[in-house]
Chains A and B, each alone.
Chain A
């Protein structure tokens, strides 16, 4: 039966390079008609590049053949792709919240009367028809603001299919949805396929992939490593294909004697975060690098924000040196010796127009003051000391931080917490947006601080880094800790399986025998 299936889209020898990176390297890619085809791969494997080429946003450097519906085509921009019938489902935050559903669906292609005015009657009728087709309980007149996350995602799908596509691209459509919502979304997806649509589905979550997909293409480091039917493979095999086996040995991890617990978290919950946290219990010891791994929507960021008091916890206790502390705001967390290296430097990390030195001393400025008056000589001395110690490459300490490279900006922000003498360092995606050399430097600094007896929480969604650097790893999924792994007794596969396979209806993962301490709930 599979042999008779026609490919809707075929690409051969697809190559795309960006300065310094080959994102796609001679990839042959095909999507069979009337099916859900899945594309999987790690961050940076080339998934988004491929999707962008299919949707016309990028032009490939090289392509032997590109056929859509049996015809040779050449795409140069997204408009051409749209005309061919290739439409991407946007993430659900691209809707206008205060507009009704129908207006959102037909935004910028509203049906017009002959006078040029919008034909509202026709618009609402058409919108209702599309919604009916999906059989979802949504009224075309409701404002989007009232809808749940999954309903908004459905509206996005309605918007996409109102353009009458033949191929629908869905990039991580379930991020931010809970299990019941995902279930409802899948019902809609299946109905669409039955009605003759072809869907390219991209997801991190393997469990979903097996539930919804038929064929799968696996990308790794810009190459296609497998293309097969999902029914012929297993979870384990797919994870293996995605991660590969090349363990990069550029992690300068040093062995450090691990001391007493410094930060202890018990039964922590937070219902105010974007992914609610449930019943989180763990501790970090002096000299320990604790990895916290989770994919998008796992609650990893939310845990970091809660610990640092950005969104105070709603239940549970956080203790420093076994003394319970209420982290009600970042100022309190600072005072208790916590430091937070943010996942988004430009949003809440640096003050862009301030100099390197001023950014470095922003937290600890009190120590440089007498009666509120800053001692510049002392500030400059300490700034120079840390620029040298952390090998920050900057023309001078008075250079504006915005003009430095990402890696050096990150080091400046790291030194901010060292100058403030933070004992617990919460590092959230510390290697995001910095080049490989700077990454190694960051790891070196992490080890250096661990040797000084600091406790480090290393939040990351990069498997290699977590496995390479952490003494112990907590895996998060849907706001819970789903597993704990120890250095030397974990593989990338284990972590990925745990982070993606955790049953959405809350069943403990099946590999707890791996951990000697049953610290997780």
Chain B
């Protein structure tokens, strides 16, 4: 008990706030239980090979989840990220394989295009004040449509080694570069949210937009930034994803949005805004990643996994909402 108290104090001096243990502890325990059950069911589960495998598989979700934590923290939502990935990967694939662009220019195009997609969302959300769920529901279809139009039904593959490097190389022969990249982005996201003024402003806007405005915060610019950053991170995730698969398809990224939002919410970030926890997001991504991996090894079909994912998402949000409404009584 004293141990956990001093830990929580240390945490406090680092972030200025106590972690919400009521969410963190059950989530961590659930994750631990999952690991124990799976390692009993399969002796391959806890092998180094499988751990690296899980980390690799989840790294793309982790990059996206960092952006999504910011979006949810600001009181918004972005369900278009799967389609941004679809559009960005076709930009990358056609530039490299069809148009013969040099690798770095293609990567710039990919990340730049994804960032523009985020800016497009931001324009409608901030300037025209359309609710984020509506804007990104529209762009979910729009960006995917563009991707199919642009790709003309082709699948491109056989990319240059410079592009594949991020997925193929292992530092010390063990840890894939993309895992380090995603952890770096996580650390940057955590630093941004807890230690910077802009990060604090994001949380304030999600917590009480009117209060933020009266405090002189530029609400429009800060909210717009959040969606642009989300687009930018989706661009990076696209490069990593495309390199890992060594293939570019317009269909890629389908359904990622729910997986990412579910991970962030499992990690303790509120869908209502104003409350976020970046390291919890890491935990949430890991738990869903482990679950996916375990179900795959157990031979559960992809479609049943989708059923389960959707159900877990609703359950977690339901439990949180119930807890919050009963607290208010």
The number of inter-chain residue pairs (CB within 8 angstroms) is: 89
Chain B residues contacting A368 (CB-CB under 8 Å) are: 197
**A166 interface residue (CB < 8 Å to B):** no
Give chain B's interface secondary structure class.
Answer: helix
> Max chain A CB contacts within 10 Å: which of B14, B17, B204, B216?
B216
Chain B residues contacting A365 (CB-CB under 8 Å) are: 197, 200-201
Which residue from chain B places its CB closest to the CB of A361 in the assembled complex?
B200
Known pairs A331-B218, A376-B16; A352 contacts B200 (CB<8 A): no
Known pairs A335-B216, A352-B274; A373 contacts B203 (CB<8 A): no
Contact for A357 among B16, B201, B203, B208, CB less than 8 A: B16
Contact for B17 among A310, A340, A398, A416, CB less than 8 A: A398
Chain B residues contacting A308 (CB-CB under 8 Å) are: 214
Known pairs A372-B196, A373-B195; A353 contacts B207 (CB<8 A): yes
Chain A residues contacting B217 (CB-CB under 8 Å) are: 331, 362
Q: Is the CB of A330 within 8 A of B208?
A: no
Cα–Cα distance between A202 and B74 once the two chains are bound (Å): 44
Known pairs A349-B211, A351-B274, A353-B274; A331 contacts B204 (CB<8 A): no
Q: Is the CB of B212 within 8 A of A351?
A: yes
Give chain A's interface secondary structure class.
Answer: mixed
Cα–Cα distance between A374 and B196 once the two chains are bound (Å): 5
Q: Is the CB of A376 within 8 A of B214?
A: no
Cα–Cα distance between A435 and B203 once the two chains are bound (Å): 30
**B198 interface residue (CB < 8 Å to A):** yes
Q: Is the CB of A398 within 8 A of B197?
A: no
A341-371 CB contact bits vs B (8 Å, 1 = yes)? 0100001111111110110001101101100
Which residue from chain B places its CB closest to the CB of A354 in the assembled complex?
B207
Q: Is the CB of A330 within 8 A of B215?
A: yes
Known pairs A331-B217, A353-B274, A355-B16; A374 contacts B211 (CB<8 A): no
Give the number of chain A interface residues (Cβ < 8 Å). 35
Cα–Cα distance between A335 and B218 once the two chains are bound (Å): 13
Cα–Cα distance between A366 and B198 once the two chains are bound (Å): 10
Q: Is the CB of A362 within 8 A of B210?
A: no
Known pairs A308-B214, A330-B214, A351-B274; A372 contacts B16 (CB<8 A): no
Give the number of chain B interface residues (Cβ < 8 Å). 28
Which residue from chain A places its CB closest to the CB of B209 in the assembled complex?
A348
Known pairs A358-B16, A376-B13, A398-B17; A363 contacts B198 (CB<8 A): no
> Max chain B CB contacts within 10 Å: which of A348, A351, A368, A369?
A351
Q: Is the CB of A374 within 8 A of B197?
A: yes
Cα–Cα distance between A349 and B204 once the two chains are bound (Å): 11
Tell me which residues from 255 to 308 in chain A have a Cβ below 8 Å from any Cβ of chain B.
Answer: 308
Q: Is the CB of A362 within 8 A of B204?
A: yes
CB pairs A–B below 8 angstroms (19 shown): A308-B214, A348-B211, A349-B208, A351-B204, A351-B207, A352-B208, A354-B204, A354-B207, A354-B274, A355-B16, A355-B17, A358-B16, A363-B216, A368-B197, A369-B196, A376-B14, A376-B195, A379-B16, A398-B12
Contact surface of A with B, Cβ cutoff 8 Å? 308, 310, 329-331, 333-335, 340, 342, 347-355, 357-358, 362-363, 365-366, 368-369, 372-374, 376, 379-380, 398, 416
Contact surface of B with A, Cβ cutoff 8 Å? 12-14, 16-18, 195-198, 200-201, 203-204, 207-208, 210-218, 270, 274-275
